[in-house]
Amino acid sequence: MAAAPHVDTAQLMELLSVSLGAYYSDFTVAAASENLTASQGKTLTVLRRGPAAMRALAETLGCDASNVTGIINRLEKRGLVHREPSASDRRVTNLVITPEGERVTDAIRERMRATHSGLNRLSDEDRDQLYELLERVFGARLTARPA
């Protein structure tokens, strides 16, 4: 009996692309339900992990700092984030999510029905395995908090 062929990197990348596209679509609709753009929702998601300096947030989001300024201005106007001076460097301003911003972030995650549906089809063991695999592939990005 011949061994099953191994999945190559291109196949994994294609599946990740499809998966992330579905996730992003679900996220965008959920963010819109809170009257936020996907970029604003993503910003709140990043800040939910902890405060971040503007430049570090821009790097995490993969965009220019000037774009982040506009995003933060709109989020701050809605009371979802606030700015505070860095304790270690007074030239730096940290961006901090507010309790209302946390509530909105949680509401977005709850409204991601397609993502929840897909993940709910996994057994506990499958979830553990998927988490472990994703952590091995992308864990360094998750633990690298924007500061």
Q: pLDDT tens for residues 70-95?
A: 999 999 999 999 999 888 888 888 99
How far is 35 from 135, CA to CA, in rounded Å? 31
Average pLDDT over residues 40-46: 97
Q: What is the pLDDT of residue 146?
A: 47
Of residues 28 and 147, which shows the higher confidence score?
Answer: 28
The helix/strand/coil state of 20 is: helix
The answer to whether residue 24 scores a pLDDT higher than 90 is yes
DSSP 8-state class, residue 81: E
Give the list of residues 6+ apart from residue 114 with CB closer than 8 angstroms, or none. 22, 25, 26
Q: Backbone phi, then psi, for 119, in 5-degree steps? A: -70, -30
Q: To the nearest whole number, what is the mean pLDDT of the chain?
A: 91
DSSP 8-state class, residue 92: -
